[in-house]
Amino acid sequence: MSQLASQQQVVKKASTYRISYILSQVALYTALILGAFIFILPLLWMLSSSVKPGYQVYAVPPEWIPDYFVWDGYIQPWSQFPMGTFYKNTIILVVLNTLGTLLSSSIVAFAFARMRFRGRDLLFVVVLSTLMLPPQVTLIPTYWFFARLGWVNTLTPLWVTAFFGAPFNIFLLRQYFMTIPLEMDEAARMDGCSWFDIYWRIMIPLSAPALGVVAVFSVTHWWNEFMGPLIYLNSQENFPLSLGLALLNSRNFNNVQATFAMTSIALIPMVVIFFIAQKLYIQGLVISGVKG
């Protein structure tokens, strides 16, 4: 009798456990889906508004499905604004900055990770502490310096500093280099490799994931960078895409579709890069943050 009762109790316990499990799953998925909707909605709205006829764009409350498609927003800005030039300038900034920071940060990180020299640890602390320095502190002198060189309203001041190494990238690459076994270097040294050989022919090929992370971060940063171009550039033919979009938005109130369309197009490369490099993103975060 008592055995039966306890058995019933166990069954009852199991079923309440099951119910609470199902409830928690329902709550989890509801929250996830609701949250996902909130996050994706502005982007979907942007896409739909880029092809909606004018009266629907201004409809209150918003209408989602276009009555008919208007592609004008994707065509008209190209003749109204130097969109091609905006893209060209952005690509120049992205390529030079990414190349610059990859070359300079990696060789500096290599020395910090693999070589012995006096003051190394202290200097590395200095590298890290410059992470805390807001760029606004050095902005005005840097501006003055580049103005003296006659570089205002050129792209040069926006990429030249990339070739002096970026503290965060140095830190990230150093962390990665440290995980590669030291025996590699020692063996290479035995075989008469120079330090540069070890850096260029051993470390660089072995560090593709970390270099990829730095590249991806740099590309997304410079694709979107706004304040630097805003300060240094003043004529449209030097504008990158970020300034171009702001210009489009401020000058084009009667054609909202164009703003939405051009913003949508501008996002495509970033989305593509993210899908290709998703693993790299997460790996980069692990290298820099979780193990840091």
Partner 1 sequence: MLNLASLSLIGTGDLVMAQNTTALSKKPRRRLSQRQIEELVAYLFISPWVIGFLIFTVGAMLFSLGLSFFDTDLLSRTRFVGPGNYIALFQDPLFIKSLWVTSYYSLAVVPLGTIIALLIALMLNQKIVFQGTFRVIYYLPALVTGAAVAVLWTWVLNPDIGLLNGALMRLGIPRASLPRWFLSETWAVPSIILMSLWGTGANMLLYLAGLQSIPTQLYDAAKIDGANSFRLFWHVTLPMLSPTIFFNVVLNIIASYQVFTQAYLLTNGGPNNATLTMVMYLFRKAFQQFYFGYASAIAWILFAIILAFTLLVIRSSDAWVYYEGSRR
- Give the shortest CB-21-to-partner 1 separation in angstroms: 11
Show the binding pattern over residues 193-212: x = contacts partner 1 (CB under 8 A), - = does not: --xx--x-------------
By C-beta, is 1 or 150 nearer to partner 1?
150
Of 18, 120, 201, 251, which one interacts with partner 1 (CB under 8 A)? Answer: 120
Closest CA to 229 of 100, 93, 134: 93
Chain centre distance of CA 210: 14
- Give the shortest CB-4-to-partner 1 separation in angstroms: 26
Q: Is 21 in the site for partner 1 (CB under 8 A)?
A: no
Q: Is 31 in the site for partner 1 (CB under 8 A)?
A: yes
Q: Is 23 in the site for partner 1 (CB under 8 A)?
A: no
Q: Is 165 in the site for partner 1 (CB under 8 A)?
A: yes
- Give the shortest CB-95-to-partner 1 separation in angstroms: 18
Of 49, 98, 207, 218, which one interacts with partner 1 (CB under 8 A)? Answer: 49
Q: Is 17 in the site for partner 1 (CB under 8 A)?
A: no
Q: Is 112 in the site for partner 1 (CB under 8 A)?
A: yes
Closest CA to 238 of 169, 140, 157: 157
Show the binding pattern over residues 231-250: x = contacts partner 1 (CB under 8 A), - = does not: x---------xxx-xx-xx-
Q: Is 110 in the site for partner 1 (CB under 8 A)?
A: yes
By C-beta, is 4 or 31 nearer to partner 1?
31
By C-beta, is 84 or 119 nearer to partner 1?
119
CB atoms < 10 A from the CB of 210, how many? 26
* Segment 64 to 103, residues that bind partner 1, using CB under 8 A: none
Q: Is 187 in the site for partner 1 (CB under 8 A)?
A: no
* Segment 258 to 277, residues that bind partner 1, using CB under 8 A: 259-260, 263, 266-267, 270-271, 274-275
Of 23, 75, 227, 276, which one interacts with partner 1 (CB under 8 A)? Answer: 227
**Number of residues located near partner 1, criterion CB under 8 A:** 91
| Structure token pair of residue 77 | 């800005």
Of 1, 2, 4, 42, which one interacts with partner 1 (CB under 8 A)? Answer: 42
Cα-based angle 210, 285, 128 (whole degrees, multiple of 5):
80
Taking the C-alpha atoms of residue 126 and residue 138, their distance in angstroms, rounded to an integer, is 16
* Segment 124 to 143, residues that bind partner 1, using CB under 8 A: 126-127, 130-143
